[in-house]
Structure formats: C-alpha cells, structure tokens
Amino acid sequence: MRTFYGVALSSRLMLGTARFPSPAILQQAIRVAATEVATVSLRRESGGDRSGQAFWSIIRDLGVRVLPNTAGCRSVKEAVTTAHMAREVFGTKWIKLEVIGEDDTLQPDVFALVEAARVLTADGFEVFPYTTEDLVVAGKLVDAGCQVLMPWGSPIGSGRGLNNVFGLKALRAHFPGVPLVIDAGIGVPSHAAHAMELGFDAVLINTAIARARDPIGMAEAFSAAVEAGMMAHAAGPMEPRDMAEPSTPVIGKALLT
Amino acid sequence: MKIIVNGDAREVKEPTLDAALEELGFGNRVVATALNGEFVSASARPSTSLEHGDRLEVLAPMQGG
C-alpha cells in the first residue's frame, strides 16, 4: 500500500482550496470528492480582518489533512521561514515546498528547491517538493530526504494537462518506490485519469475544479476520473501500436467473393 | 515606537511582541509571526523585544493551491 510519509490515503485526489466562488462551494467540493488532503497557505491579515480565521475554522471542521504551501516564495530563506510559520499555525510537519524561479511559467527554481528541501528535512519537516519531471533534480530531492515528489503536469493554472508524457513516464519508471503526485496544469478529468493510468499515485487539482462553471459537479467528475485511472493502471493497460490489428479473428472467415 | 506591520507603518506602545500583537488587535488569533525576516515562534513572543523600525509580518491561514 502506497503511503505519503506513512499516511495511507484512500482518495488520491488532493484539492487546492483557492479561487472557489465561496467557502460553501469549497466545502461541498471537498465532500463530494471525498478528498482527504487540502492545500492551504499563509497570507498577511490585518487586525480588523478575520477572513483567515473563518477559513481555518471551515477547514478544521471538514477534518481533512492540510498540506500548507510556500506559494510565491522565491528564495531558500523565504521558503524556509514560511514553512516554519506554517508548521506552527497548521500544526503539521507536511509542507508543499514551492520555490518559484520564473514568472511566465511559474517554473520551480530547482537549485533553490533542493537546498530548501535539505534544510527543511533536517529540521523535521516532511517535504512535498513542487518540481519538474527532471530526473536528476528528482534524484537530488530524494537524496535531500524527500519521500514524496510533486512533478508538474504543465504550468500552474494553465490547464494544459501532461505537457511531457515521455518525461513523466521516465520519472515514474526511475523512481518506482517514491510516491509521485502530479501537481499543476491539470485542466480536465481526462488529464487526471491519464496521470493515474501512467502510474502516478495522486493528483493535486485546484483551478480546474474551482473555476469550473459548477465546481461541485467538476469535483465529482475528477474524483471518478482519478478512481478510473487508478483502476486502469492496476489492470495493466495495453501497449499502443502504430498499425491496425484486427480484433475479430481472421482464421475461419468465409470466402464470399 | 513606530514599526512596520505587514508593510504598513504602525505606532505601538507595548515593548514585547506578544503584547504588541494584543495591542494591534491580533489577540486570540491563529497567526504566525516573523520579525525582520526571521520566524518568531509563539512561545518566543513574550521574550522578543520590539525596536523602532522593526518589520513585523503577521500571517494567517488562507486559501492556497
């Protein structure tokens, strides 16, 4: 049984909590998808504003496991400090480590990512690094102590699906023992099913559900797709071929010309 | 003394971080703090003194992807 830092998850659909039309819709989306992991963040709050407190109370009531992120951090120091603040507020060792290196693609700065992962692991954190499909970087993250990797499908919020299927398949094949979560870029349920069919262990979805016309319906659709993809992987998909091959037996065919 | 709280200049009377948070309206809130870019845990706030010009970040739970 695959575990994420020792935690077994029956739902492999992790959900981002941002950009939903309302807290009530977020709550219902988490419920219908039976999501067990929700990502959260930390932002400035003024003395008179209680929106963050209200949000935290909703998430606590749902009983999901929270995965705080370091979204928007651009340096090792910023990410490490944010992780410490998140650990105290959310009471978890889990941290979704993001160190952004490029504005147009929100591509991770993989050099800073590896360094921050090393610092945080040594400090007792359980790091979920947001990374690319690069095999060498993945190896360095594992060496740094990461027991889960979160490769992107495509740029955050782009909805382009799995941009580099070859690279992602290679990553899966090179790290058979490491739980891999596709984070970022999933646009529709078929993308999520594809990721699971390739043998990825979970997907993290935010914008594709939150910005759908009906986020609750879309959460249900993603949940079914993740389940279908996981079942398909377990059942062993056929290998694609370049040429046609008749499925009906040719032997015994009548000669009618 | 004048300090910078979440990017805004604020006047505080209290000399320690825990008391200043009360004064700024963050009492009983679930927040994390950083002073001049360094994390200050909740348990260290009573023994953390503030100085004129300090930069204080007060962060609360928020939606995230």
Give A58-82 pLDDT, tens digit per residue: 999 999 999 999 999 999 999 999 9
pLDDT at res. A212: 96
pLDDT at res. B28: 80
Smallest Cα–Cα separation from A20: which of A221, A222, A213, A225?
A213
Pair type for strands B38-40 and B55-63:
unpaired
Does residue B29 carry a pLDDT above 90? Answer: no
Identify the band that residue A170 occupies on the pLDDT scale cut at 50, 70 and 90: very high
Identify the band that residue A49 occupies on the pLDDT scale cut at 50, 70 and 90: confident
Question: Do the Cβ atoms of B60 and A89 come within 8 Å?
Answer: yes
Q: Which of A77, A93, A96, A169 is catalytic?
A: A96
pLDDT at res. A179: 98
Contacts of B31 in chain A (CB under 8 A): 45, 89
Query: What's the mean per-residue pLDDT of chain A?
Result: 95
pLDDT tens digits along A87-113: 999 999 999 999 999 999 999 999 999
**A and B: number of Cβ contacts within 8 A:** 103
Does residue A219 carry a pLDDT above 70? Answer: yes
Phi, psi of A65 (to 5 degrees): -80, 130
Burial pattern A132-143, b for ≥16 Cβ within 10 A else e, equals bbbeebbebbbe
Does residue A47 carry a pLDDT above 70? Answer: no
Cα A144 to Cα A141: distance, rounded to the nearest angstrom: 5
Chain B 2-61, CB below 8 Å of chain A: which residues?
6-7, 24-26, 29-34, 37-39, 41-42, 57-61
Does residue A257 carry a pLDDT above 90? Answer: no
Per the annotation, the verdict on A77 as an active-site residue is no
Q: The tokens of A246 are what?
A: 């008749």
| B62: β partners | A41
More confident residue, A240 or A92: A92
Does residue A173 carry a pLDDT above 80? Answer: yes
Identify the band that residue A45 occupies on the pLDDT scale cut at 50, 70 and 90: confident
Contacts of B23 in chain A (CB under 8 A): none
More confident residue, A53 or A37: A37
Pair type for strands A7-8 and A3-4:
antiparallel
pLDDT tens digits along A117-132: 999 999 999 999 999 9
Question: Do the Cβ atoms of B59 and A84 come within 8 Å?
Answer: no
